[in-house]
Amino acid sequence: MATEPLPLKKTESPGPAGAPEDAVPAAGSPGGPLVRFDKVVKRYGDHVVLDELDFTVDRGEHVTLIGPSGSGKTTILRLLMTLEKVTDGVIWVDGAPLTHVRTPDGSLKPAGEKQLRESRKKIGMVFQQFNLFPNMKVIENITEAPVSVLGQSREEAETRARELLDLVGLSAKVDAHPSQLSGGQQQRVAIARALAMEPEILLLDEVTSALDPELVAGVLELLEDIARNTDITMLCVTHEMNFARDVSEKVLMFDAGRVVESGSPEKIFSNPSHERTREFLNAVL
């Protein structure tokens, strides 16, 4: 499977080699980072989950977020997917504010549900608990959004869904219901469902945590495949350090709502410079 090209469209885009990360207006210019968190704060009541978080992700980059539970990793994905609202700060995606709209005087105000729906189209998410629709067959799970959101014809969407099911190795399960599949198979369908929307950014939220150990490898291989053969930008929260090492170019170590360290997997795993990173890696590796 890995040798064949994936049936995914490669878009012409300026590569990750772009402007320096700290150039302020770069978020809006082509070639700048695809995702930029700009002093993002997330609070639940008094509990601060993210504390003026700044970080960027380049186009096509595969970033792994690691850190102890409760450090805010999943919250970052949920904010990007607009499942949660930022308390303060702005998230920029492709140069546009994700959850805000520009008013005529140039300031930003929170976007309405319609605009949020538009923003979300670029972003796909795979969940820890799969969240397939149990009332639909596998193929319907995959075609629902392409038909009703992207306006694809049913035939078009089904053809593509079959290609994607082939990619994830589940061609035989087209007409099955999710309840008839194993966890690993369900997660593959969920990945196919997310890919069917042709997202620019794919968010992976502990996608192997709910799987039986023997099913983890297959799902990880699939994701490695996707990472290698597409230009989809991936943000991945995981406890699978091997996956972080094999797939991502950048690892961000979180603690208490802040990035304490970031760098290539080689650097983070073999030569962490921060005490918290060392402690965390000692605990999980």
Partner 1 sequence: MNDGFDWDAVGESLPLLLEGFKVTLLATVLGTVVAAVLGLVVAVAGRAPSRFVTAPVRLVTEFVRSTPLLVQLVGAAALFNTVEPLYIGITVLGVHYAAYTSEVYRAGIDGVPKGQWEACRALSLSPRRTWQAVILPQAVRNVLPALGNYAISMFKETPFLAVITVQEMVFEARKYGAEQFAYTEVFTLAGLIFLVASYPTSLLMRKLEKRLGH
Sequence-distant (≥ 6) Cβ neighbours of residue 242 within 8 angstroms? 220
By the rule CB under 8 A, 110 interacts with partner 1: no
Binding of partner 1 at residue 79 (CB under 8 A)?
Answer: no
| Residue 44 sits in the site that holds partner 1 (CB under 8 A) | no
**Residue 55: beta bridge partners?**
37
Binding status of residue 143 toward partner 1 by CB under 8 A? no
Contact between 127 and partner 1 by CB under 8 A: the answer reads yes
Query: Residue 116 or residue 281: which is nearer to partner 1 going by CB?
Result: 116
How many residues interact with partner 1 (rule CB under 8 A)?
26
CB 175 within 8 A of CB 158: no
CB 64 within 8 A of CB 250: yes
Q: Which helix (H) or strand (E) holds 261?
A: strand 258-263
Among 1, 29, 39, 148, binds partner 1 (CB under 8 A): 148
Q: Is 215 helix (H, G, I), strand (E, B) or coil?
A: helix
Q: Which is nearer to partner 1, 199 or 272 (CB)?
A: 199
> Smallest distance from the beta carbon of 106 to partner 1, in angstroms?
28
Residue 133 in the binding site for partner 1 (CB under 8 A): yes
Which two three-digit tokens encode residue 200? 């620019």
Pair of tokens at residue 106:
């140039």
In three-state secondary structure terms, 56 is strand
Q: How far is the CB of 127 from partner 1 (least distance, A)?
A: 6
Nearest approach in angstroms of CB 204 to partner 1 is 12
Out of 69, 103, 107, 135, which residue is the one contacting partner 1 (CB under 8 A)? 135
Binding mask 175-204 for partner 1 (x = CB under 8 A): ------------------xx--x-------
In sequence order, the 6+-apart residues with CB closer than 8 A to the CB of 180 are 173
Interstrand relation of 123-126 and 100-102 (parallel, antiparallel or unpaired): unpaired
> Which strands, in side-by-side order, build the sheet including 96-97?
47-57, 35-44, 88-93, 96-97
207 versus 251: smaller Cβ distance to partner 1: 207
The span of 13-21, 27-35, 96-104, 122-130 binding partner 1 (CB under 8 A) equals: 122-130
Name the one range near partner 1 by CB under 8 A: 16-24, 115-123, 240-248, 268-276.
115-123
Contact between residue 141 and residue 178 where contact means Cβ atoms under 8 Å apart: yes
Is residue 138 a contact point for partner 1 (CB under 8 A)? no
For helices 154-167 and 183-196, the axis angle rounded to 10 degrees is 130
Tell me which of 145, 174, 241, 256 binds partner 1, using CB under 8 A: 145
Give the separation between CA 235 and CA 59, rounded to whole angstroms.
11
Closest distance of CB 44 from partner 1, Å: 16
Which residues of this chain interact with partner 1, rule CB under 8 A?
Answer: 81-83, 113, 117-118, 120-121, 123-125, 127, 129, 131-136, 144-145, 148-149, 193-194, 197
